[in-house]
Amino acid sequence: MLASAATQLLEHYDAHARVLPWRSPPGMPPPEHYRVWLSEVMLQQTTVATVKPRFRRFIERWPTVEALAEAPEEAVLQEWAGLGYYARARNLIACARVVAARGGFPTSEAELRKLPGLGAYTAAAVAAIAFGEQVAVVDTNVERVIARLYGIDRPVAEARPEIRQLAEAMTPADRPGDFAQAMMDLGATVCRPKKPACLACPLSNDCAAFASGDPERFPAPKAKKARPHRHGIAWWTTRDGAVWLVRRPAKGLLGGMAGLPGDDWHHDGVPTRTFATVSHGFTHFTLDLHLVERPEPAGDGWWQPLDLIGEAGLPTLYARAVEAALSRKHELAD
């Protein structure tokens, strides 16, 4: 089944591949290595729809890895604002500088793994798509496709070694990059978590989950853990139509990003004098960020004109906090 499944999937990909700005059409030479790497880093934990316009902006501003390597870190972080998982942006800069210094990207998965920020998936994706190495590229979508195809009804975390072995066995020596992208497309557009379009799937005749009559049962869901909840304070200081912003410490959540000054997000509850609150979910905890007015600026920072707040490069949490503060102040003024 393995060889026939790969052939069927590639034929489906040739006819139905998504057109994406970082891809080459099926069967064509691979795109420039920089574009493959940049797109894969941006796509980590972020949807294709969100990444497409941001990828184009990055390429327009920094068309080569050498250009990105020479960019000021603050400019890259500002451009990354809104994409989330900001450690990726810092690793992006570090990796670009290493690649530029060595004269180009390494061509194997093993060597790519040595670059800053490239884990198992990203290194495999770049190796297969950019350099044609026969390696299995396994992301969340691929794990679901494999689990359903082979009827693996355990949680992915328990079945991951088996899933990887099966993916490796399926990956053909010919067109491994197209095969990797075909698997990603199948999981994203056909073998969806909910309401999979099994009748449009080229692998449905061999699929154990489809044969069961309940494909959504595969793989078994993982047990959800409750995330702890925190409270934090953000100081709101304005003067002459500008708000006081600071840059967060380089390490830690939202590291190096612009934001409102405040505490370390371990406040016991809602502080007095709060005039607005925004809620936000991080991977490991949820947060209520409470805005409190402060007459004098706190910390080292700068005055950002409120009519140019969109140019500050605020991450989503602080962009929403500023929006909430301005909305609340407008209500109070009325």
117 in Cβ contact with 91 (< 8 Å) = yes
Non-local (6+) Cβ contacts of 334 within 8 A are none
Q: Is 328 exposed, middle or buried (0-12, 13-18, 19+ CB in 10 A)?
A: middle
Give phi and psi for 326, each to the nearest 5.
-65, -40
Task: Tokens for 214, please give them.
Answer: 């309940």
Token pair of 261 as six digits = 């000054």
- Catalogue the E-assigned strands of 3-104: none
Separation CA 253–CA 148 (nearest Å): 35
118 Cβ contact list (under 8 Å, min separation 6): 95, 112, 126
Q: Establish whether 323 is a catalytic residue.
A: no
Half-sphere exposure of 197 (CA within 13 A, CB side): 9
> How far is the C-alpha of 143 from the C-alpha of 154, rounded, in Å?
12
Around Cβ 228, how many Cβ atoms within 10 Å?
9
3-state secondary structure of 243: strand
Spatial distance between the Cα atoms of 175 and 26, rounded to a whole number of angstroms: 9
CA–CA dist 59, 121 (Å, integer) = 22
Strand 301-305 to strand 274-281: parallel, antiparallel, or no bridges (unpaired)? unpaired
* Catalytic, out of 32, 40, 66, 73: 40
The token pair at 303 is 């005055």
Positions marked active-site = 40
